[in-house]
Amino acid sequence: MSVSFNPSEVTAPLPPREGQGEGLLLVLLGPTAVGKTALSLTLAKRLSCPIISADSRQMYRGMNIGTAAPTEQELQEVTHYFVHTLDLDQYYSAAQYEADVLKLLDDLNSPPHGGSWRGVLSGGSMMYIDAVCNGIDDIPTIRDDVRTTIRQRLEREGLDVLCQELRLLDPQYYAQADPKNTQRIVHALEVCYQTGRTYTSFRTGQRKQRPFRIVKIGLRRSRPNLFQRINQRVDQMMADGFLDEVCNLYPYRHLNSLNTVGYKELFQVLDGNWPLPMAVERIKKNTRVYAKKQMTWFQRDNDIHWLDLDTLTTDEAVARVMELL
């Protein structure tokens, strides 16, 4: 459903909150397929502001269908940042994202905006959102030679071997880490090897203050409805040519950027290991599992104002958001 509004409302100033400056970052978060893209576009138009993507995979060029990236028309309707900005082999981290977003917001805070800027940060990458809102620990940037060494070992020896090594070097982090999350296991080992210290020793968890207002809006649906939307979206992705997209990316399948739900399963098809229907069902299942992890992560944050999109129309959801600003 589209939202109608008076054009004069677009530039109407929002009153600043005492001690928090006039900049406003509206954070729109929630699990995959919940409906963030549509609502973020509506809100960005209503507020006359850009959308800052908080999706760690939409940043990579060529991963359009499989990441449900904004369409060309949507990119033309509203200015987007951090969409299709990285090559597939570029290393990028939550810490770099924090620095880049804060730089962007500082630019928005400069003339002609006059300190009254607005932005909609929308996505489901949990660590990226936390990095911008709360700050991230000051972990050293990994040297290229260290990164190359660990990546080569990953290819030769496999993730299980690296997990056991992390267990010896940093048992505290190993006890809480997801042993199937390649990126985090590898990064923790990189820090251990480069610094001679445990990864845990750098994780202070101290929250940083931001010189702008942050309003967090969480979107949710009932589990059956969310899972149905996930299944339908995967079917639509396949109809839109997702398999062709994966075929084009097959030569780069070893890159970490493509260690992503959807791409991993279709690579199994191209390798001759799985039939296509089996891979599609695995994509749906693994996406549902990821959505549950997202909700578990977000539910820990008491600053989030939750909206149930099963019970609210788009107009009602927008009205609720505007009330919170």
- How does residue 115 score in pLDDT terms, banded at 50, 70 and 90? low
Containing structural domain, residue 178: 144-202
| CATH label of the domain that carries residue 255 | 3.40.50.300
In a domain, 260, yes or no: yes
Residues 196 and 226 both lie in one domain: no
Sheet holding 80-81, edge to edge: 80-81, 51-53, 118-123, 24-29, 213-220, 304-308
Q: Tens of pLDDT along 219-258?
A: 999 999 999 999 999 999 999 999 999 999 999 999 989 9
Q: What is the mean pLDDT of residues 87-104?
A: 93
Looking at the chain, the whole-number percentage of residues with pLDDT higher than 70 is 92
- pLDDT above 90 covers a percentage of the chain that reads 76
| Residue 166: CATH number of its domain | 1.10.20.140
Query: Into how many domains does the chain fold?
Result: 2
Residue 89 shares a structural domain with residue 119 = yes
108 and 235 in a single domain? The answer is: yes
Beta carbons of 133 and 214 less than 8 angstroms apart = yes
167 within some domain:
yes
Same-domain status, 179 and 36: no
pLDDT of 205 reads: 72
The alpha carbon torsion through 86, 91, 96, 101 (nearest 10 deg) reads 10
- The last residue of one of the domains, among 202, 218, 235, is 202
pLDDT beyond 70 at 10: no
Task: Provide the phi-psi class of 198: left if phi over 0, else alpha when psi is between -120 and 50, else beta.
Answer: beta
What pLDDT is attached to residue 8? Answer: 32
Q: Does residue 2 sit within a domain?
A: no
In a domain, 225, yes or no: yes
User: Is 282 domain-assigned?
Assistant: yes
pLDDT digits (tens, 9 = 90+) for 266-321: 999 999 999 999 999 999 999 999 999 999 999 999 999 999 999 999 999 999 99
Angle at 31 between CA 88 and CA 72, to 5 degrees: 50
Supply the pLDDT for residue 111.
65
Both 216 and 275 in a single domain?
yes
Q: Judge whether 1 lies within some domain.
A: no
pLDDT at residue 17 tops 90: no
pLDDT 10s digits, 51-73: 999 999 999 999 999 999 999 99
* Same domain for 150 and 118: no
This prediction has a pTM of 0.81
- Which H, E and C letters describe the chain, residue by residue? CCCCCCHHHHCCCCCCCCCCCCCEEEEEECCCCCCHHHHHHHHHHHHCCCEEECCCCCCECCCCCCCCCCCHHHHHHCCEECCCCECCCCCCCHHHHHHHHHHHHHHHCCCCCCCCCEEEEEECCHHHHHHHHHCCCCCCCCCHHHHHHHHHHHHHHCHHHHHHHHHHHCHHHHHHCCCCCHHHHHHHHHHHHHHCCCCHHHCCCCCCCCCCEEEEEEEECCHHHHHHHHHHHHHHHHHCCHHHHHHHHHHHCCCHHHCCCCHHHHHHHHCCCCCHHHHHHHHHHHHHHHHHHHHHHHCCCCCEEEEECCCCCHHHHHHHHHHHC
**Is there a single domain that holds both residue 254 and residue 124?**
yes
Mean pLDDT of 117-143: 91
CA distance linking residue 71 with residue 64, whole number of Å: 8
Query: Alpha-carbon distance 48 to 79, whole Å?
Result: 10
Phi, psi of 27 (to 5 degrees): -100, 115
Average pLDDT, the chain: 90
Do 232 and 217 fall into the same domain? yes
User: Are the beta carbons of 182 and 154 closer than 8 angstroms?
Assistant: yes
Nearest 5 degrees, angle CA 127-CA 130-CA 132?
Answer: 110
Tell me what the mean pLDDT of segment 99-127 comes to: 86
Q: Residue written as tokens 């620095």?
A: 99
Q: Average of pLDDT values for 186-206?
A: 89
**Confidence band of 20 (pLDDT split at 50, 70, 90):** very low
